[in-house]
Amino acid sequence: MLLVLAIALGLYVLGRVMGASPQARLFLPGLVIVAVLIIQATLPEGNTLKAATGGSLRNWLILMGVVALVLAYRFGLSRLRARHDAVEAPNTPQQGSFSPAELDRYARHIVLRELGGPGQKKLKQAKVLVVGAGGLGAPALQYLAAAGVGTIGIVDDDTVSVSNLQRQVIHRDADTGRPKVQSAADAIHAQNPFVTVRPYQRRLDAEIAPDLLADYDLVLDGTDNFDTRYLINRACVAAGVPLVSAAITQWEGQISLYHPAGDAPCYACVFPQAPAPELAPSCAEAGVIGALPGVVGSMMAAEAIKWITGAGQTLAGRLMIYDALYADARVINVKRRADCATCGSGASPKIVD
């Protein structure tokens, strides 16, 4: 019996050395075993050939039974592994979705339980529009790009000035005089070549807002005047697109996520009318600590990432106020107003500038 098994094994190894297919490698050894079984079943006891090939059909049948059990065990194990992989697949990154370079780049996201491969894929498929490439928009854009948000739109009609560089960290001294959208786009491409950037060098107005916002999943408002903030809010409410809006002055900033379609208030619910100019001076008039927009702008990016991936709890229905001077942060609950002129019963169906 050992001689026959050695011959069968030798034929298998020879077929493997010659580069034969798995089926061809098994054919000749299988043919030898079948021939031996025929010999054991047909030749009488005491036959020299029968004795040389094992001497008993029962021994071969026992051996074949053991082999069959081993093969059945391996087959069952492979089926269980396949079912396990099918269940786990939604929670692991798909090689077909990301290049090896992207998997390495986003590895710290993928190992996060709240994000994982599916969350990173959502970021790659997301489209986020950032209005304003200034103090708040600069860090928000940088972290959205670093996080792997697939498509980022930038709306701004301004150019880079030297006075911007104290806080608008996406721009460089060499960018002075350039359009902010182009400077920001170049910085994003240098940071993450896997991100698509759409620069819009113009002011957002009521004419283009509906069509522009309809192509995005989320809007970040980093503008510095109330007229534009209310316009963006109206456009987002009309399009059913969530809005992350923030504002800063001197040492203090505030941020929330506004989304009436998700039962959260809109910006006008919380701030029904703009304050008097003397109560809300611009950064140029009142000043601003350079690191403050970095903190609040990064919060905007974090809110965007959470909303896109479904991780944690967003600031929808809550307003966060951050005081950098005294290192204090507090959150207050905010609700929709039934009489809101933008999302309530008195809402106008049109976006007016």
Please, which pLDDT band fits residue 50 given cuts at 50, 70 and 90?
low
Q: Would you tell me how many other CB atoms lie within 10 Å of the CB of residue 307? A: 22
Mapping DSSP onto H, E and C, the string for 34-88 reads HHHHHHHHHCCCCCHHHHHCCCCHHHHHHHHHHHHHHHHHHHHHHHHHHHHHHHH
Structure-model confidence comparison of residues 93 and 326, the more confident one: 326
Q: Which of 27-41, 74-88, 263-277 is modeled with the greatest confidence? A: 263-277
**pLDDT at 255 > cutoff 90:** yes
Structure-model confidence comparison of residues 238 and 3, the more confident one: 238
- Yes or no: say if 70 and 64 are a contact pair by the CB < 8 Å rule: no
Rounded to the nearest integer, the mean pLDDT of the chain is 85
Tokens of 183: 């400077």
Please, which pLDDT band fits residue 22 given cuts at 50, 70 and 90?
low
Please, which pLDDT band fits residue 138 given cuts at 50, 70 and 90?
very high
Structure-model confidence comparison of residues 180 and 55, the more confident one: 180
- List CB contacts of 63: < 8 A, sequence separation 6 or more: 1
Please, which pLDDT band fits residue 23 given cuts at 50, 70 and 90?
low
* % pLDDT > 70, the chain: 82
Query: What's the confidence (pLDDT) of residue 154?
Result: 97
Structure-model confidence comparison of residues 82 and 68, the more confident one: 68
The strands making up 318-323's β-sheet, listed across from edge to edge, are 196-200, 151-155, 127-131, 218-221, 243-249, 252-258, 318-323, 328-333
* % pLDDT > 90, the chain: 63
Please, which pLDDT band fits residue 195 given cuts at 50, 70 and 90?
very high
Query: What's the confidence (pLDDT) of residue 52?
Result: 72
Query: What's the confidence (pLDDT) of residue 42?
Result: 75
Single-letter amino acid code for the residue at 73: Y
Rg for the chain, CA atoms, rounded: 34
Q: Which of 43-47, 94-98, 349-353 is modeled with the greatest confidence? A: 43-47
Nearest-angstrom CA–CA distance, 149 and 273 = 33
- List CB contacts of 11: < 8 A, sequence separation 6 or more: 28, 29, 32
Query: What's the confidence (pLDDT) of residue 13?
Result: 65
Single-letter amino acid code for the residue at 169: V
φ/ψ (deg, to 5) at 96: -70, -20
pLDDT average, residue stretch 306-317: 96
Nearest-angstrom CA–CA distance, 282 and 246 = 14
Among residues 131, 156, 316, 315, the alpha carbon closest in space to that of 230 is found at 131
- Where b means 16+ CB within 10 Å and e means fewer, 210-224 reads eebbeebbbbbbbbb
Structure-model confidence comparison of residues 187 and 63, the more confident one: 187
Residue linked to tokens 């905007």: 300
Single-letter amino acid code for the residue at 251: W
Query: What's the confidence (pLDDT) of residue 282?
Result: 74
Q: What domains can be seen in the chain, in order of their start residue?
A: 2-90 (no CATH), 126-333 (3.40.50.720)
Please, which pLDDT band fits residue 47 given cuts at 50, 70 and 90?
confident
**pLDDT at 121 > cutoff 50:** yes
User: Alpha helices of the chain — where are they, by DSSP H?
Assistant: 2-17, 22-42, 48-52, 57-88, 100-105, 107-110, 116-125, 137-147, 180-191, 209-213, 226-239, 267-270, 283-286, 291-309
**pLDDT at 314 > cutoff 60:** yes
Query: What's the confidence (pLDDT) of residue 44?
Result: 74
- Yes or no: say if 321 and 330 are a contact pair by the CB < 8 Å rule: yes
Query: What's the confidence (pLDDT) of residue 92?
Result: 41
Please, which pLDDT band fits residue 86 given cuts at 50, 70 and 90?
very low
